[in-house]
Amino acid sequence: MMKKILHNRLINALADLRKVGLYNNIKTIEGPQGPWVMINGQKTLNLCSNNFLGYANDPKIKVAAKKGIDLYGCGPGAVRTISGTLQAHVDFENALAKWKGQEAAIVVQTGFIANTTLIPAIFIKGDAIISDQLNHASIIDGMKLSKASRFIFKHADMNDLEMKLKEIRANPEITGIVVIISDGVFSMDGDIANLPAIVKLAKKYDAYTYVDDAWGEFGLGNGQGTVAHHQLEGKIDFEVGTLSKGFGLSGGFIAGDAMLIEYLRQRARPFLFSTGLNVSTCVAGLAVIEDLQNSNARITKLWENVSYFKNKIKDLGLNAKSPTHIIPIMVQEEKIAQKMSKMLLNEKVFVTPILFPTVARGTARCRIIISAAHTKKDLDFGIEKIAKVSKELGLIK
Ligand SMILES: *Cc1c(COP(=O)(O)O)cnc(C)c1O
């Protein structure tokens, strides 16, 4: 009987998702990640990968990852605190700290885990966390795991942030610390956080600052990220990053004061109770940092591509405003976004629809991510197909 209840619950839930256009049709890529990928045996232009500098299948980085396996094997053997901290972890953490301009860094399994590691480990009962309404899901989940009081400010609204700070400062239950958390670049709209205003308000109300720069690092600020873009080096207390986007790998990290990182090594639960980052990833990650220090050609190419593509999209008359390499084509209705994605795939262009709960209901979009690995010809092909499909859907004339 119990078994039947769950069976029916799932069947109905899945049917509902299909009915309202929220069912994820997950595509399998038959081969490596890159500007073109194989899907259903067809060579398809990839306009929706987070691998925006093209490192995921880069020959030099693959050599480094293989060297990592030769030197350290395939698995770390234990959680970091027992016997699973290998030299490659330490070397990579030191390089990350230096690159971020922070005293120390700690690597964890993913960017998602970085937020769910840091937030509950540091912020406790009596503290207040204020989070931008559009912050990443891993920040929201990290907050749920923390005993601190939680406040949300309207997306990018500095007046609302100040109101919340005033409220918190007048709240007798907040006896501990206050922290403002923001994405550096917002992953679904591509807008850049107003970090100068956040830092100013943090100073005025004696709050800490916390930036998750998954999308900004290796893109903005000549590769150093959103903090450098705003010339705020040294003004952010907690910095979180991912290895899954600009790095083209998989993993996450936290950078900050030496004492903060030392404390996380003692107390952060995913560090204590879950085996650490793949060792070969650490060697590959070092190679990515070195490669970018040798040349910023990829970043220059990324922004060249972004501006070329955005101008063409604007000329078409599509609704796609964004200052960064994340370019959402807004279509609002979930079913239209799904249809557009399906039609584009038929034209050999891969763009996934982004739907609730990733974004609010009725704000569905086809989110395009431009990569440094795309050529002008690739982008022209994409534009031509997007124009064709948008006309067929009546989005443009
Ligand atoms: C993508 C993203 C993450 C998750 O990173 P993973 O390494 O894929 O887990 C976390 N935070 C932000 C802001 C992101 O955009």
CA distance 226 to 212: 9
User: Quick one: what percent of the chain has pLDDT higher than 90?
Assistant: 92
Q: Considering all CA atoms of the chain, what is the largest pairwise distance in Å, rounded to the nearest integer?
A: 64
Interval 345-355 mean pLDDT:
95
Sort residue 206 into left (φ over 0), alpha (ψ -120 to 50) or beta: left
State the pLDDT confidence band at 1, using cuts at 50, 70 and 90.
low
72 lines ligand 1 (CB under 6 A): no
Ligand 1 centroid from CA 252, angstroms: 8
Q: How many CA atoms lie within 13 A of 51 on its CB side?
A: 20
| Per-residue pLDDT tens over the stretch 161-213 | 999 999 999 999 999 999 999 999 999 999 999 999 999 999 999 999 999 99
216 lines ligand 1 (CB under 6 A): no
How much is the pLDDT for 95? 97
Interval 129-152 mean pLDDT:
97
* Residue to substitute in 138, 188, 226, 247 for testing ligand 1 pocket (most ligand atoms within 8 angstroms of CB): 138
Residue 214 near residue 242 (C-beta atoms within 8 A): yes
How much is the pLDDT for 22? 84
Which one, of 174, 67, 186, lies nearest residue 129 by Cα? Answer: 174
| Per-residue pLDDT tens over the stretch 85-112 | 999 999 999 999 999 999 999 999 999 9
| Cβ-count burial 149-165 (b if 16+ within 10 Å, e if not) | bebbbeebeeebbbebb
Rounded to whole angstroms, what are the CA distances from 320 to 185, 354, 368, 369, 380? 16, 14, 10, 12, 17
Residue 267 near residue 241 (C-beta atoms within 8 A): no
Q: Say yes or no to pLDDT of 333 above 70.
A: yes
**Residues 6+ away with beta carbon under 8 Å from 144:** none
Ligand 1 centroid from CA 214, angstroms: 6
228 lines ligand 1 (CB under 6 A): no
Interval 4-18 mean pLDDT:
94
CA distance 183 to 178: 17
CA 358 to chain CA centroid, nearest Å? 12
Going by their DSSP bridges, the two strands 208-212 and 178-183 should be labelled as parallel
Q: Say yes or no to pLDDT of 340 above 70.
A: yes
Residue 346 near residue 44 (C-beta atoms within 8 A): no
CA distance 229 to 221: 4
Name the closest-CA residue to atom 1, ligand 1.
214
Interval 121-135 mean pLDDT:
97
Q: What angle do CA 263, 94, 52 make, to 5 degrees?
A: 105
Q: The tokens 């593509």 sit on which residue?
A: 309
Name the closest-CA residue to atom 2, ligand 1.
214
112 lines ligand 1 (CB under 6 A): yes
State the pLDDT confidence band at 366, using cuts at 50, 70 and 90.
very high
How much is the pLDDT for 311? 93
| Per-residue pLDDT tens over the stretch 370-396 | 999 999 999 999 999 999 999 999 999
187 lines ligand 1 (CB under 6 A): yes
Ligand 1 centroid from CA 112, angstroms: 5
Ligand 1 centroid from CA 345, angstroms: 25
Q: Say yes or no to pLDDT of 132 above 80.
A: yes
Q: The tokens 């086809």 sit on which residue?
A: 366
Predicted TM-score of the model (pTM): 0.94
- Show the tokens assigned to 27: 């595509």
| Per-residue pLDDT tens over the stretch 222-281 | 888 999 999 999 999 999 999 999 999 999 999 999 999 999 999 999 999 999 999 999
Which one, of 206, 213, 212, 210, lies nearest residue 237 by Cα? Answer: 210
Residue 371 near residue 305 (C-beta atoms within 8 A): yes
